[in-house]
Amino acid sequence: MQENNHPIGIFDSGYGGLTILKSIVDQLPQYDYIYLGDNARTPYGSRSFDVVYEYTRQAVMKLFSMGCQLVILACNTASAKALRSIQQNDLPGFDPSRRVLGVIRPSVEKIPLFTKTGHVGILGTMGTVISDSYPLEIAKISGNQITVTQEACPMWVPLVENEEISNPAADYFVQKNINNLFRKDADIDTVILGCTHYPLLLPTILKYLPSHVTLIDQGPIVANSLEDYLLRHPEIEQNCSKGSSIRFLTTESDEIFKSRAGMYFGRPISAEKISL
């Protein structure tokens, strides 16, 4: 990576955003990237609005200080609880030419392509569900044409973070939450995995999801949306350096990150420890 370069920043509370980074890098390998996982303070899903906003703001400022002109919050919880505040409160005073984008809007925009019944289910963290960001964003694009039902899955992130995805406990909680969702609305035909950790539970999720249901996995959708965004905003695109490098940062031990992150990213990676 060259000095004075402008990588695209990708932020998550922990490892989950690596599933998004993987799709982005597969689709847009030409850019430089910095991934930042706030592993020391994960999970964000059960934290208050103010805490998620403050932690996310610190991470974004760190990525800006490292040259990022564009930061993607590859975390639904941070997108739900911090994105709007950062865009409205922090960017104008700091540098209005920088951009921070989230993962909720791109995921929601695809919904009308998939649902036939007009009934959509959201699986997410408690924080994402309580924020009502998905129902609000879906209402913006569809009026009130789409019925949205949410199910908070507070055990799923800890199962993934603790590498317990093959434990029978994972089957228990995945089945329980999926059954709850369909008990609330049996007409759901489209489900969004509204947490970047959840693709790690995909085999278990597919075991319990009714087979006629379309599952929306955010990685490819966010990657497509970023490509489209960069095409529509050449002034931002020109500012993104193109050296095909990826740098990984963690707020926890770099050794722990190295031993776990490969599972999410699909290949071994090493990281540097930083503080926020």
Site residues for ligand DGL per CB under 6 A: 12-14, 16, 42-45, 75-77, 125, 128, 157, 195-197
Strand ordering across the sheet containing 33-37? 99-101, 70-73, 8-12, 33-37, 246-250, 272-273
Smallest distance, Å, CB 132 to ligand DGL? Answer: 14
The end-to-end CA distance of the chain, in Å, is 22
Residue nearer to ligand DGL on the CB measure, 165 or 236: 165
Residue nearer to ligand DGL on the CB measure, 7 or 16: 16
Which residue's CB atom is positioned nearest to ligand DGL? 45
Q: What is residue 16's three-state secondary structure?
A: coil
- 75 counts as catalytic: yes
Smallest distance, Å, CB 219 to ligand DGL? Answer: 12
Distance from C-alpha of 37 to C-alpha of 43, rounded to nearest angstrom: 11
Residue nearer to ligand DGL on the CB measure, 71 or 240: 71
Distance from C-alpha of 79 to C-alpha of 102, rounded to nearest angstrom: 5
Is residue 193 within 8 Å of residue 215, measured between CB atoms?
yes
Nearest in space to 39 (alpha carbons), one of 209, 266, 268, 248 = 248
- Spatial CB neighbours of 135, under 8 Å, sequence gap ≥ 6: 122, 148, 150
Q: What is residue 81's three-state secondary structure?
A: helix
Residue nearer to ligand DGL on the CB measure, 182 or 198: 198
Smallest distance, Å, CB 220 to ligand DGL? Answer: 16
Smallest distance, Å, CB 164 to ligand DGL? Answer: 15
Smallest distance, Å, CB 19 to ligand DGL? Answer: 9
Q: Which of 68, 153, 195, 240 is catalytic?
A: 195
Residue nearer to ligand DGL on the CB measure, 129 or 240: 129
- 240 counts as catalytic: no
Tokens of 276: 């926020």
Distance from C-alpha of 260 to C-alpha of 270, rounded to nearest angstrom: 10
Backbone phi and psi for residue 159, each to the nearest 5 degrees, phi listed first: -65, -40
* Active-site residue set: 75, 195
